[in-house]
Structure 1
Amino acid sequence: MKKHHLIALAATCLLGTLARADEAEIRSKLPQRLPELPKVEDVRPSAMPGLYEVVVAGGEIVYTDEHGEYMIHGDLIQTKGQRNLTEERQAKLTQFDFNSLPLQDAVVWKAGTGKRRMAIFADPNCGYCKRLERDLQQLKDVTVYTFLIPILGGDSPQKAQNIWCSKNATQAYRDWMLDGVVPSRFMGMTCNSPLERNLTLARKLRVEATPALFFENGSRLRGAASVPELEKRLSGGKS
């Protein structure tokens, strides 16, 4: 092996060793100094020299120096091409397989051919979810799967249970979300409700607020989205 190849290999090994040492220091120091910080799940050098990417529980990304002395909240932008590296990395971390979703646990409605599919995690008392549901009515040839997750407290669990256990869950859900018709109270003895399974699934997918939107191309959105953005995602595009 030529001498310059040996030097390059040695330099690479040294940099790797230093990086691992920095990562260990960051993992140790940040929780000590910032006990309110969610659990550190991953540490790696970022695209910017001297800056480390830290992924914490919940999928949030923050940045720090090699010694964990400083921390930065915000997006890392590559000026050449104006790439949002933080957004790209979060998209990669949260990518999922649409076909793996337990669609039988969702409230379903279809418009037109229904060939374009999306899934939503929603709380029946979520105002943004209601606004989104109204906007969804403008879409054509779409199937919408809504996983009810009562996370807002109050009567959300009872309302979600009443919707799912009604004779027509889809009609009950849409009557409530679009027209404000309160779902009838479920008076039966048993109802195989998926609400607990939906909450477990939401935690697995790092859903922390409603609405949360998932698309067939593996992308996702947090919060209500405009109709043009929904059309873009349903057509396979990503922001």
Structure 2
Amino acid sequence: MSPKRSLLLSILCAASLSACAQSPSSAAEDPAADAAAPAAAQIETAPGTPEDRARKAILSINPDIRIDSIAAAPLEGFREVIVGGQALYVSDDGKYLLQGSLFDIEAKKDVTQAGVAEVRRKLLAAVPASDRIVFAPANPKYTVSVFTDVECGYCRKLHQDIAEYNKRGIAIEYLAFPRMGVGTPDYELMVSVWCSPDRRKALTDAKDGRRVPSRKCENPVASQYQLGQRVGLTGTPMIVTESGVQMPGYLPPDALLSALEQADADAAARASGG
């Protein structure tokens, strides 16, 4: 492999964990997990279009990359390609690839995140409520999806304050992300949690270090692990708003409420042209 091709492959591996990163024990080593995980499906494009050339350019570098979106980029002459929760920019002739944030100087904002957030929103909206572990107040003002791991210190810290998040009108909807990978003891424990008759209690017990009886069932843990990779997860807990905006890591209850209020204000400003 030439140095240039190797560099481009490294770029795409960094941009798409689901295509390039291997967990300590992959889903291929666990038939049950493999059956639970959805098959990769490539996006379709009309032949001869800039979108088609962008798709072919990406797949020529790594045919295993899963592309989630191809659309017109804020940069003239380029398509925005979303892979692994990150944006890449491919020239309309399929010749050039750019990676990194695109900043609108006049508007003073990062325009890269809008496309990424929309892809996250669509992917998370497809996860049914029955596959989540939900801690919510009666009438939540905000709802966030949280990719969590039972061994993660900050995940445990967040869960210790679950009642405080709820008091502030924030519903927490947990998705599974066993950081050590599919087939590991961490993964098996999260499967036991999701297979428990009382998932909320089992998750609390696991995060508090109490024993959770081992259980097996049809479960979404492997598919949610893959989903976390697709939406660009780099660490747990990953907190994502209903509009697909990623919060900056763990936030205490008051800080998360402030961040959600600010996100609402920013969205209102954009809608009004401000």
Range class of TM-score, shorter chain: 0.5 to 0.7
* Shift in Å, 1:73: 1.2
Structure 2 counterpart SS, 1:237: helix
Confirm or deny: 8 A CA contact 1:97 1:218 kept in the other structure. Answer: no
* Shift in Å, 1:70: 3.2
Structure 2 residues not aligned, in runs of 5+: 1-47, 267-274
The one-letter amino acid paired with 2:59 is P
Number of aligned positions between the proteins: 209
CA radius of gyration, larger in:
1
Match of 2:32 in 1: none
Distance (whole Å) between structure 2 residues aligned to residue 160 and residue 21 of structure 1: 44
Match of 2:205 among 158, 171, 175: 175
Distance (whole Å) between structure 2 residues aligned to residue 125 and residue 238 of structure 1: 35
Q: TM-score, normalised by structure 2?
A: 0.59
Structure 1 residues not aligned, in runs of 5+: 1-19
Q: 1:44 to 1:104 in 2, by over 3 A?
A: closer
Confirm or deny: 8 A CA contact 1:40 1:55 kept in the other structure. Answer: yes
Match of 1:129 in 2: 155
Q: TM-score, normalised by structure 1?
A: 0.65
Q: 1:223 to 1:202 in 2, by over 3 A?
A: farther
Quote the RMSD (CA, aligned, Å). 3.7
Distance (whole Å) between structure 1 residues aligned to residue 58 and residue 257 of structure 2: 41
Structure 1 counterpart SS, 2:203: helix
Match of 1:162 among 177, 192, 207: 192
Q: 1:37 to 1:73 in 2, by over 3 A?
A: farther
Residues 1:145 and 2:173 aligned together: yes
Match of 1:84 in 2: 110
Distance (whole Å) between structure 2 residues aligned to residue 175 and residue 67 of structure 1: 55
Structure 2 counterpart SS, 1:95: helix
Q: 1:183 to 1:147 in 2, by over 3 A?
A: farther
Match of 1:35 in 2: 62
* Shift in Å, 1:72: 1.7
* Shift in Å, 1:136: 4.5
Distance (whole Å) between structure 2 residues aligned to residue 38 and residue 67 of structure 1: 20
